[in-house]
Structure 1
Amino acid sequence: MQILLITNDDGIHSSGLMALKQAVEGLGRIIVIAPDRDNSAVSHSLTMDRPLKVTEIHHDTYMVNGTPTDCVALGIKKILNSKPALLLSGINAGANLGDDISYSGTVSAAIEGTMYSIPSMAISATGDPPYDFHGAGKAARMIAEKILENGLPDNTLVNMNVPPRHKQNRIKITRQGRRLWKDSIHETRDPRGWTHYWIGGGTPIHDSNRDTDVHAVREDFISITPLQLDLTNHTGVDFLKKHWDLKSVLD
């Protein structure tokens, strides 16, 4: 029986994680390996300053006192006896769109799976609480079946964002857009008068392009964005070779 590995960055007790597990039941043996607490915005970090503990809390359900990337690495190298047919990360409570992808622990877990040549997908429920995890789970199962049937290109993962008012037939294949945040750092003072800062929140600043993940979700489409491991800007390579006279510098 094929194995489906599920993880997330919101923690082992997340409602989104349980909804994803229920949504893909019947597609194979489901093994859950997730952090013991919320790891939102940890990106692709590995824990290297302390040992990690793995606890089996239920059959085929493991909790790790580390990051989403730790969970995937430990799962593949130490917990599982065979390679998963599919890695699913989510369902995240909130969108992972545009520039936010760089910070996302949800997406980074899927990146880690892709690095081990495992077809991988990150799933996020967009909008505001309470999130529609059930609807996102149904959409995730549909795309999981597509991946299991057709595979993915080499070194490619899928980033999926599901808006709360979507319809199953409203899906767009998109590219990563831009989404910066205004007033995302908040200054406050403690009772002793010391200044402290909260990072998070603010008002999103969207780009105006219509072929992006950001625009699709704003129009209530499910966004499917293929991401690649190669971060090289190939246009930039051509530009630097043409305009930078490195030979004279090196001489």
Structure 2
Amino acid sequence: MRILVSNDDGYFAPGIAALARALGKHYEIMVCAPERERSGASNSLTLDRPLTVRQAPGGFLYVNGTPTDCVHLAATGLMDTLPDLVVSGINHGANMGDDTIYSGTVAAATEGYLLGVPAIAFSLASRNPEYFDGAAQIALELVQHIERHPFTHPTLLNVNVPNLPYDQIKGKKMARLGRRHKSSPVIKAQNPRGEPIWWVGPVGDAAVGGEGTDFHAINEGYVSVTPLSIDLTAWSELDAVATWLCA
């Protein structure tokens, strides 16, 4: 099985290094990641300039673009054929609930899915992540499970791993996405010239985080595994909008 590995934290991040070590012992991998951190890049593509690809001393390829750029470029330009699997991460911090809309980690996996390739996004759910090797072992287990029990059609999974030693993780749970409270307001400051600048505030806490959600699974010490869909159609509103149009 050939695996394309990417992330949004940059090719130098410890999370992608741990992921590549774990998967590289068992599979043929290509690592193609952004040249710098691109957290929050979502599914953006670079269309206003050309992209460049360089190789780091360790063999990782890095691109002056977004996570989506990296997967699209590698899968459709650098590889002879599409990979069998796209794996993104391991992200420095959770990607749960509403985070998935903004996440570059999830976006890298989504690009693989859009190209018809099964894909998984992995995140270590802590603002101060420590246990990347344990999360990488979880990633390897899920990849091996996919190898033994392949999906019947391309599937996109969002996986969050609690920031615990591997032997303290209780197991894996399927979970739906929770919801967060809205983010804190922007934070106003000044640059050295005295000009006003603004920082985007931190994410909010869980607003919908009860049993069955990814937030609940992580809080209980379980890995959360969430299948994602990219169909944004509000099916429950179709009849209402149709009636409104005819009014």
TM-score by length of 2: 0.91
The CA distance in 2 between the partners of 1:203 and 1:225, in whole Å, is: 20
Unaligned residue ranges in structure 2 (runs of 5+): none
Deviation, 1:189, is: 2.7
Cα distance change, pair 44–153 in 1 and its aligned pair in 2 (3 A) = farther
Q: Residue 187 of structure 1 corresponds to which residue in structure 2? A: 188
SS in 2 for 1:16: helix
Cα distance change, pair 205–130 in 1 and its aligned pair in 2 (3 A) = closer
Residue correspondence of structure 1 range 62-211 to structure 2 within 5 A? 62-152=61-151, 154=153, 156-165=155-164, 167-201=168-202, 203-211=204-212
Identity of aligned residues (%): 38
| One-letter amino acid matched to 1:234 | W
The CA distance in 2 between the partners of 1:99 and 1:153, in whole Å, is: 28
Greater shift after overlay, 26-35 or 193-202?
Answer: 193-202
Q: Deviations over 1:72-105 (max 9, x none)?
A: 1111111001221111000000000101110000
CA contact (8 A) 1:170 1:222 kept: yes
| One-letter amino acid matched to 2:178 | G
| One-letter amino acid matched to 2:218 | V
The CA distance in 2 between the partners of 1:100 and 1:3, in whole Å, is: 28
Cα distance change, pair 193–121 in 1 and its aligned pair in 2 (3 A) = same
CA contact (8 A) 1:93 1:131 kept: no
Taking only aligned residues, the RMSD between alpha carbons, in angstroms, comes to: 2.0
SS in 1 for 2:197: strand
Cα distance change, pair 155–237 in 1 and its aligned pair in 2 (3 A) = farther
SS in 2 for 1:63: strand
Q: Residue 61 of structure 1 corresponds to which residue in structure 2? A: 60
The CA distance in 2 between the partners of 1:30 and 1:155, in whole Å, is: 19
Q: Deviations over 1:179-215 (max 9, x none)?
A: 1344252121335543221114254243243111122
Cα distance change, pair 105–219 in 1 and its aligned pair in 2 (3 A) = same
Q: Deviations over 1:10-40 (max 9, x none)?
A: 0010000000011112332111001110000
CA contact (8 A) 2:178 2:206 kept: no
The CA distance in 2 between the partners of 1:223 and 1:184, in whole Å, is: 29
Q: Deviations over 1:113-156 (max 9, x none)?
A: 00011110000001232421111101111111122222335453
Deviation, 1:53, is: 0.4
Q: Deviations over 1:147-168 (max 9, x none)?
A: 2222335453000000113745
The CA distance in 2 between the partners of 1:186 and 1:19, in whole Å, is: 34
| One-letter amino acid matched to 1:188 | A
Cα distance change, pair 200–145 in 1 and its aligned pair in 2 (3 A) = farther
| One-letter amino acid matched to 2:227 | P
The CA distance in 1 between the partners of 2:219 and 2:170, in whole Å, is: 16
CA contact (8 A) 1:23 1:138 kept: yes
